């Protein structure tokens, strides 16, 4: 079923050019080894190799076409494949997370630190925004899964320290970019030049406020006073009012 889904999705992309067909084909292909009678390490390794092969092929086409069509499609496919490599090798992302601390275990621990750096190194020279964003997201997931990898207990203060780290990094990078000539460094600027960035920040801010677990709910509607039952001319004096 997965192989048929991969072939059908690939045909949809090649025939009609729908980007979701290529991404669906990649997802089906990556899922192929998981129903097989293999060890968890072998399944993840096969999935990582498939994603890495797709990334290598599409990366070459992306560089040749640039940002113009179909280069933008190739950029989305390569970013998806790169995320697939990371998710396949990060053993603490997924349902089954019980692995022995073998050579494969520690090799995946090293890869989850190296892959975001490689992604940024590939994305920065060509200003590949999608690959850059996905690599940064991978780096955040690495920080979140570092303690489970090392079998360290989570502490209540961990989210606070994580938030302080992100705030400090954002402030330092913004100031470093702003101090460059005309507020730029190698074509990068901290100023928002796209209206979509403003909308995205507004959406994230609204979602963060709405999803707070301790946020007070809306005040209950005030009960309307009971003015019924009064006789004419008495302004309700004879009723419960």
Distance of CA 118 to the CA centre of its chain: 17
Query: Mean pLDDT, to the nearest integer, of 7-36?
Result: 92
Residues 6 or more apart in contact with residue 128 via CB below 8 angstroms = 62, 75, 122
The pLDDT score that the predictor gives to residue 124 is: 86
* Most confident among 97-106, 132-141, 155-164 (mean pLDDT): 132-141
Is residue 90 located within the same domain as residue 178? no
With bands split at pLDDT 50, 70 and 90, how would you rate the model's confidence at 214?
low
Q: Which two tokens stand for residue 240?
A: 């419960």
Is residue 148 located within the same domain as residue 199? no
Is residue 168 located within the same domain as residue 147? no
Whether 81 contacts 54, CB under 8 Å: yes
Is residue 55 located within the same domain as residue 138? yes
Please count the structural domains in the chain: 2
Parent domain of 149: 33-153
The pLDDT score that the predictor gives to residue 67 is: 79
Q: Does residue 236 register a pLDDT over 80?
A: no
Q: pLDDT tens across 195-204, in order?
A: 656 666 666 6
Q: pLDDT tens across 168-183, in order?
A: 888 887 887 777 787 7
Is residue 174 located within the same domain as residue 121? no
Is residue 149 located within the same domain as residue 168? no
Query: Mean pLDDT, to the nearest integer, of 71-75?
Result: 88
Is residue 88 located within the same domain as residue 181? no
In a domain, 69, yes or no: yes
Domain boundary among 153, 185, 214: 153
The pLDDT score that the predictor gives to residue 92 is: 87
End-to-end CA distance of the chain: 72
The pLDDT score that the predictor gives to residue 198 is: 64
With bands split at pLDDT 50, 70 and 90, how would you rate the model's confidence at 126?
confident
Q: How many helices (H) and strands (E) does the chain have?
A: 9, 2
In a domain, 54, yes or no: yes
Distance CA 51, CA 167 (A): 33
High-pLDDT (> 70) share of the chain, %: 78
């Amino acid at each position: 079923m997965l192989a048929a889904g991969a072939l059908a999705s690939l045909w949809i992309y090649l025939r009609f050019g729908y980007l979701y067909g290529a991404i669906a084909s990649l997802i089906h292909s990556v899922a192929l080894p998981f129903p097989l009678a293999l060890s968890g390490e072998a399944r993840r390794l096969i999935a990582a190799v498939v994603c890495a092969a797709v990334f290598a092929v599409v990366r070459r086409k992306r560089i040749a076409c640039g940002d113009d069509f179909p280069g933008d499609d190739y950029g989305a496919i390569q970013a998806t494949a790169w995320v697939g490599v990371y998710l396949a090798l990060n053993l603490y992302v997924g349902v089954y997370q019980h692995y022995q601390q073998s050579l494969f275990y520690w090799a995946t621990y090293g890869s989850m630190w190296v892959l975001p750096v490689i992604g940024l190194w590939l994305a920065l020279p060509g200003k590949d925004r999608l690959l850059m964003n996905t690599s940064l997201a991978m780096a955040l997931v690495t920080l979140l899964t570092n303690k489970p990898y090392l079998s360290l207990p989570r502490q209540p203060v961990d989210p606070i320290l994580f938030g302080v780290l992100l705030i400090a990094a954002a402030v330092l990078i913004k100031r470093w970019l702003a101090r460059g000539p005309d507020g730029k460094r190698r074509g990068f600027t901290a100023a928002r030049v796209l209206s979509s960035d403003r909308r995205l920040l507004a959406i994230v801010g609204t979602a963060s406020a709405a999803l707070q677990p301790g946020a007070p709910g809306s005040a209950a509607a005030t009960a309307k006073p009971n003015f019924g039952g009064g006789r004419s001319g008495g302004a309700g004096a004879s009723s419960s009012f």
